[in-house]
Structure 1
């Protein structure tokens, strides 16, 4: 889910090739959901139908595309984000898929209902003094709204030693660490046109392993059962 209030990048970036050829559209996403549910106080999982789009060539990925401007995020407002949080929570409690939320950078329009409802909130940061310093005010705000056991650092372009140093400086555990891999990162940010096989890159290999670990950490299944779904939100500080 793209919930970046500054303007969603997933559709024109990672999914840009399918947007250009018409298989995905900007007309369906968080804005259409908020508009269609504006007269409701609470929305079940079924309310997402018609707004979530299937990603071509996959059988397990879906996208709820984001806003195109901060003005649209302001129009959604806290009530709209709350209705979306209700629907997402209903999806996960009914045994649906894991939901990953990109909450963008910390701004006045940050979708707090989605963040406070998440099973895990990861704070995006790079292993530099400038990024760590800029992240502290965000953590101060998050600690007032999210229990400490649901907070973690998503340290990018890093090594394990650097990620551990960042976590100590921030006072939260490492929830996710991703290696320096500019080519694969560029492909995922701007589409696969110039880089066709990011799936075999260090970034994608690490991401797949991290995703499995996060799922099992949040949903340790009893013996002989399947782990339920969960929701994780990623929010970044001003310098991230």
Structure 2
């Protein structure tokens, strides 16, 4: 089982949409954890039809962790992304970006808790980290993840700031695990050029699919036959399978 972080360097390359597409098509039980310090968006977007009251999620889990009750309260903080399956779940993020400052001293606790989910109950975790260059970014989650995917679009305006972030991560040796790229949409460069320029491999690619992206952003019915969801299913199987092999070799 794996912990995978998705993050970006600048702009809106599609981190949340990509994370949600992966979670909805992941090959096993999975939690999409919204750890973007700018706030979560899935509850108010894709799940807006549920009219969630905001009484569960990331902040409540952290409070439970501080009380030593995270394991007991974990399941009650989740929302089913694909009811009644209970295999694809969401840990909603903070509702107000002003809450991000209180997350800073607790990212390490959360990283350890996610690692324990992987080890103890066989639950994969996809972490939406948002922009790692933003204030209060969840760096400890990246440091303890099995894999960090930097989400980029294959255009220079996306690749240049992402390269600076990748270089920072490489200098930090990414203590938790591997580093790679998730390329979203079409642009000026193919995967070979992107990988060469960024100095890390392209591990997955998702196509431009405005119809599916609109549903994942604003709500509606997901069609798994659409290009984005098909590609996400293939990417998830590749990433999850690759990480399982890595763990087996350790």
Q: How many Å apart are 1:122 and its aligned residue?
A: 0.2
Inter-partner Cα distance in structure 2 for 1:126 and 1:201: 20
Picking from 115, 128, 134, the partner of 2:155 is 128
Q: Which residue of 2 aligns with 1:8?
A: 40
2:85 is paired with a residue of what secondary structure?
coil
Contact in 1 for aligned 2:195/2:201 (Cα 8 Å): yes
Higher relative contact order (CA 8 A, sep 6+): 2
Picking from 234, 238, 242, the partner of 1:209 is 234
1:210 is paired with a residue of what secondary structure?
helix
Q: Superposition RMSD on alpha carbons, in Å?
A: 2.4
- Inter-CA distance 149–101: structure 2 relative to 1 (3 Å threshold): closer
Contact in 1 for aligned 2:152/2:181 (Cα 8 Å): yes
Relative to the length of structure 2, the TM-score reads 0.77
Contact in 1 for aligned 2:143/2:176 (Cα 8 Å): no
Check if 1:100 corresponds to 2:126.
yes
Inter-partner Cα distance in structure 2 for 1:37 and 1:95: 17
1:85 is paired with a residue of what secondary structure?
helix
Matches within 5 A, 1:1-240: 1-18=33-50, 20=51, 24-39=52-67, 45-46=71-72, 48-55=74-81, 56-78=83-105, 80-106=106-132, 107-143=134-170, 144-147=172-175, 150-158=178-186, 162-192=190-220, 196-220=221-245
For structure 1, list consecutive stretches of 5 or more residues without a partner in the other structure. Answer: 228-240
- Inter-CA distance 207–35: structure 2 relative to 1 (3 Å threshold): same
For structure 2, list consecutive stretches of 5 or more residues without a partner in the other structure. Answer: 1-32
Q: How many Å apart are 1:45 and its aligned residue?
A: 4.1
Contact in 2 for aligned 1:47/1:87 (Cα 8 Å): no
Relative to the length of structure 1, the TM-score reads 0.80
Contact in 2 for aligned 1:10/1:65 (Cα 8 Å): yes
Q: How many Å apart are 1:137 and its aligned residue?
A: 2.2
- Inter-CA distance 200–130: structure 2 relative to 1 (3 Å threshold): same
